Amino acid sequence: MTTATGHVDYGYGPTNGPHTWSLTCHTAAGARQSPINIITYKCHFNSKLTPFKVYVSHKGHKVLIRKKHNFQVSFKTDKPTSLEGGPLKDKYSLMQLHFHWGDDDDWGSEHHIDGRSYAAELHLVFVNEKYTTMDQASSDPEGLCVIGIFLKVINHFLYFYN
């Protein structure tokens, strides 16, 4: 949907969600581009992959940045939390995390599983240790690793009592 000023109004709802982004931004339809819909019956276990190894660092400081459609936490440290293993050939450093959410409890995640949206999605953004900035890494197909975690709203009282 385009506003009177000509700006595209994107979001995470049924009428302006990730499934509509490629209509106004053609790069959103790329083969390695968000959003994706994971079709579970097409997924297969790969026994050759090693487990992820996460090295947690509590050093450095965090910066909270409020953005138009979300917020992010950036990590500034010489010894960042890092990730390797799985399908990754290199070691990656955690640079930031951010959330995506919508207007209601059933629609807000950027990605879907079998067409189902979740209330929110957490992205942990790692940068290949060959690079020092996300700008440098973003031009390399192996420069960034984003781990997405779906979040759903539950009534914690019912959850704990059932």
- Looking at residue 10, the DSSP 8-state letter turns out to be -
Let me know: does 95 contact 74? Beta carbons within 8 Å: yes
CA end-to-end span of the chain, whole Å? 42
Cα separation, 85 vs 92, in Å, equals 10
Distance (Å, whole) CA 70 – CA 10? 12
CB distance 35 to 69 below 8 Å: no
Taking the C-alpha atoms of residue 17 and residue 35, their distance in angstroms, rounded to an integer, is 9
Burial class (CB in 10 A: 0-12, 13-18, 19+), 2: exposed
19 catalytic per annotation: no
Among 69, 112, 123, 156, the one annotated catalytic: 69
> Which are the catalytic amino acids?
69
